[in-house]
Amino acid sequence: MTVSPRTRDIHHVDIGTARLIVAPGGAAAALPETGIGSTERRLDGDDKVTGRAAYAGEEMPPGTLHGVLVTSPVAKGRIVAIGTDAALAADGVVRVIVPDDMPALAAPSVPPVAQSFVPMSDTSIRYEGQPVAIVLAETLEQAEHGAALVDLRIEAETPTVFETAETVTPRTEGNGYILGALDPARGDAEAAMRDAAATVDAVYVAPTRHHNMMEPSATLAEWRGGALHMHDSTQWTYGVRYALSGLLSMEPGDIHVRCPFTGGGFGAKGYVWPHQILAPLAARLAGRPVKIALSRAQCYTGSGYQPVVRSRVALGADADGRLTAIRHDTENVTSTADDYVEFGNAGTRSLYPAPNLSLTTRIRRADVGTPTAMRAPHEGPGMFALESAMDELSYALDMDPLALRLANYAETDPANGKPFSSNRLRDAYAEGARRFGWDARPRRVRARREGPRLIGSGMASAIMSTFRFPASARVCLTRDGAIRVEAGAQEIGTGTRTIFPQIAAERLGIAADGIEMVLGRTDLPETGGTFGSSSTISVGSAVADAADALRARIEGLADGTLPPREAWPALLRENGTGELVGEGGFSLPGDAPFDAHGGAGEHSMHTWGAVFVEMAVDEALGLARMRRCVACYSAGRILNPVTARSQMIGGIIWGYGRAMLEKSAMDPRSARYLSKNLSGVHLPVNADIPQEIDVSFIEEHDPHASAIGVRGIGELGEVGVAAAIANAVYHATGRRVRDLPITFGDLVG
């Protein structure tokens, strides 16, 4: 991120606790000083800003070789020959590994492996940027120089891209990317549309985007004895273990993965990409540790992306604005190897009830890499379409956009009729509208002008699926009286190193400061990945359970009551006890390995929000600026207002990027991204961000989703933002933009 003088504004806006959590009536909830609900600083902040936090790319055990991937410049074809003589003759180059050197691997399990095609397992070229050789050298510069000297002979073919590929139904059998029914339907949407008082029908496009995480992916692989040790930049240490154990036919216990800190992931590090497979193979061939760090450019082809999602949305409503029919057809790009499915109508299933519904989910297979989840998958790109269409419908009905949402409020989940585990969306609408001053908005478009600028306001609903994974954790009282929390989960910037100690502290009745948090290793209690906004709900519940177990053990030593914290070390000494350990877990009904929006249980689980945006548009210059954003959420209990609020601000800025800046444009002739660096791909920087991002949460305790009252928030913040912005641009100018991002050409002329 570019540092501008306005950095201070971003970090110091509105951080007071009292305004962050609001009771349904709008009254500020009283917050305790410590433990849950406190605004304690990030407990890992010092380690990060001083550089003590160790990231995968920084570790360099003695003897480590740098591996640089040689990648294909063409998207489709066949490797004819790889000339390695010049590279091998260069200073410091130790070895050049080519496909012929590679051992046969077992079939990948997708996921945790991100794509079923493992590069260098044959001579086929399936996407531009595909690794075809690895140069190993003593220094990074020598490896990079050697890579430039490798002589690739490739027989190229004309590639297919999204625009030229056929639309097909995804494979469902054996496809790990199927999260629900492809074509849910009820009633007769077409007939209802014909009888509706008002209809809209349009196509919306959310383009391909990349994660652009701050820390490029990196991995260090080292064989000791028969065991593999990796320091990997990942969102899921156990996933790396399982992926490699499958591919290499090794016992999972012989693969040790560590990742104490991950410098952002947003989904790019959720599953296992080729460099994480190739590094251990290279290390085994070389007999030395091998580190492969992707360059920024390689991150564009080496760790997934959010695929373009093209949505056709048609809505029909009666004269009172009640939806009578919803149609939402989505298509996303995927690779020829994997039917990755972006469920662009996931949110459409559960947000508004309508008696007639027709949803379809299709893919187009192109000569590109396999896409992957990116904050916020599914609902993120899809809700731009639905919530833009709802805005269009509000004008067709001459109805206030918020009133239209309220006329279509779902009391139970329209997808399955289940009650929600907890849902305060109605309060979020009201509170968000109050904080924004929505009632003062003129109904007409182009109604407000300030000098050369047109001012408009728009809103959108947000909905995100709640994902849960089983998890385990330990909370330990050490011999010297310290508390240590242990879980295999990762820290990807979201605040897990702060909130897990807080959860343990609350259960033990002590302060969180000073609690040691150990995470990010496969020798720690197993958890799922740090993705799907699932860590707090899943791992947090396991930590709470473990802390309860420890508390019970302490009480057991003290005849059933919990002595004051100061007395705990003496208690251990008197009882001749070493470390006391509490083990805890979080499991899903039927011991399911994963559950989306409540699974087969009795309750439907989602998170919600209401996003309000004010845009200023200068049509002479083709410029648009977000002046204000007010977002209010119903997301279960909020454990830490500081980290929660940061998550939502980050999500809103992420959504601003979707709306106004980001698109990974591809040359349709070569199937190559036109730009693979941060000067050619526009991301929001501090100067893009308005003075005020007002985030609030409705006070809530979800009794069903977890043992600690929470659901998840990480991805919710992105949802709805792009639609709210596009809707505000329409309100300001009368220009409806259905193809993101909104750029100069959409605003002038």
Output the smallest distance, CB 237 to ligand MOS, in A: 14
564 alpha carbon, distance to own chain's centre: 41
Q: What is the closest distance, in whole angstroms, from the C-beta atom of residue 240 to ligand MOS in the complex?
A: 15
Taking the complex as a whole, how short is the minimal distance between the CB of residue 270 and ligand MOS, in angstroms? 5
273 touches ligand MOS by CB under 6 A: no
Cα dist. 219→109, 274, 320, 361 in Å? 20, 11, 57, 35
Decide if 326 contacts 357 (C-beta within 8 A): yes
Q: Does 719 bind ligand MOS (CB under 6 A)?
A: no
User: What is the nearest approach in angstroms of ligand MOS to the Cβ of residue 534?
Assistant: 8
Q: Which of 160, 233, 235, 358 binds ligand MOS (CB under 6 A)?
A: 235
Within 525-564, the residues that bind ligand MOS by CB under 6 A are 531-532
Which of the stretches 112-120, 369-377, 500-508, 602-610 binds ligand MOS when contact is defined by CB under 6 A? 369-377
* Residue in the block written with tokens 């050409």: 745
Report, in Å, the least distance between residue 467 CB and ligand MOS: 8
- Kindly state the helix (H) or strand (E) to which residue 388 belongs, with its residue range: helix 379-396
What's the rounded Cα separation, in Å, for the pair 462 and 634? 10
375 binds ligand MOS (CB under 6 A): yes
| Shortest Cβ 380–ligand MOS spacing (Å) | 9
Query: Encoding tokens for residue 203?
Result: 């196509």
How far CA 120 is from CA of 218, 238, 472, in Å, comes to 19, 24, 37
Instruction: Give the shortest CB-607-to-ligand MOS separation in angstroms.
Output: 13
- Residue closer to ligand MOS by CB (options 159, 377) is 377
Closer residue to ligand MOS in complex, CB, 267/470: 267
* Phi and psi torsions of 509, nearest 5°: 70, 35
Contact residue for ligand MOS among 119, 239, 267, 582 (CB under 6 A): 267
Residue 304: closest CA among 271, 264, 259, 339: 271
Euclidean distance between CA atoms 233 and 400, whole angstroms: 47
8 A C-beta contact, residue 379 and residue 597: no
Whichever of 530 and 634 has its CB closer to ligand MOS, that residue is: 530
Helix residue ranges, H only, 235-376 = 237-247, 274-286, 296-302, 346-350
* Interface with ligand MOS, residue 270, by CB under 6 A: yes
Two tokens at 461? 């609903």
Any idea of the CA torsion for 156, 162, 164, 165, to the nearest 10 degrees?
90
With a CB cutoff of 8 Å and minimum separation 6, the contacts of 437 are none
Q: Does residue 376 have a cis bond before it (omega within 30 degrees)?
A: yes
Q: Which stretch binds ligand MOS (CB under 6 A): 259-267, 601-609, 697-705, 732-740?
A: 259-267
- How many of the other CB atoms lie within 10 Å of CB of 665? 12
- Residues in the interface with ligand MOS (CB under 6 A) total 12
Scanning 50-58, 139-147, 367-375, 700-708 for contacts with ligand MOS by CB under 6 A, the matching segment is 367-375
Which range of residues in 373-381, 569-577, 651-659, 686-694 is near ligand MOS by CB under 6 A?
A: 373-381
Segment near ligand MOS (CB under 6 A); pick from 62-70, 289-297, 372-380, 424-432: 372-380
Q: Which residue, 72 or 335, is less far from ligand MOS as judged by CB? A: 335
Cβ atoms of 266 and 211 closer than 8 Å: yes
CA distance 71 to 585: 43
Element spanning 657, H or E = helix 641-660
Q: How far is the CB of 490 from ligand MOS (least distance, A)?
A: 10
Interaction of residue 265 with ligand MOS, rule CB under 6 A: yes
Hey, what are 51's tokens?
Answer: 């550089």
Interface map 299-338 toward ligand MOS (x if CB under 6 A): ----------------------------------------
Q: From the CB of 90, what's the least distance to ligand MOS, in Å?
A: 38
Q: Which is nearer to ligand MOS, 538 or 733 (CB)?
A: 538
Site string for ligand MOS, 413-452 (x = CB under 6 A): ----------------------------------------
Among 147, 257, 299, 373, binds ligand MOS (CB under 6 A): 373
Residue 556: CB atoms within 10 A of its CB come to 11
**In Å, how far from its chain's centre is CA 646?**
15
Spatial separation of the C-alpha atoms in residues 635 and 428, rounded to whole Å:
10
Binding to ligand MOS by residue 495, rule CB under 6 A?
Answer: no
Comparison of 395 and 656: residue with beta carbon closer to ligand MOS: 656
User: Whole-angstrom Cα distance, residue 29 to residue 389?
Assistant: 36
Q: Is 377 in the site for ligand MOS (CB under 6 A)?
A: yes
Stretch that binds ligand MOS, among 150-158, 263-271, 352-360, 436-444 (CB under 6 A): 263-271
Cα-based distances in Å from 253 to 55, 241, 245, 246: 23, 8, 9, 12
CB-wise, 384 or 436, nearer to ligand MOS?
Answer: 384
Closest separation in Å from C-beta 265 to ligand MOS? 5
Smallest distance, ligand MOS to C-beta of residue 196, A: 36
Residue number, 461 or 494, with CB nearest to ligand MOS: 494
Q: How far is the CB of 238 from ligand MOS (least distance, A)?
A: 15
CA distances, 347 to each of 97, 351, 374, 388 (Å): 46, 6, 16, 13
Residue 271 sits in the site that holds ligand MOS (CB under 6 A)? no
- Residue nearest ligand MOS (C-beta atom): 267
Pick the closest to residue 376 from 452, 466, 312 (CA basis). 466
Instruction: Tell me, residue by residue from 104 to 133, as one string, x for binding to ligand MOS by CB under 6 A and - for no binding.
Output: ------------------------------
Q: Which is nearer to ligand MOS, 112 or 690 (CB)?
A: 112
Q: Look at phi and psi of residue 371 and say left if phi exceeds 0, alpha if psi is from -120 to 50, else beta.
A: beta
Q: Which is nearer to ligand MOS, 193 or 294 (CB)?
A: 294
Residues of the shown chain interacting with ligand MOS in the complex, contacts defined by CB under 6 A = 235, 265-267, 270, 373-375, 377, 531-532, 715
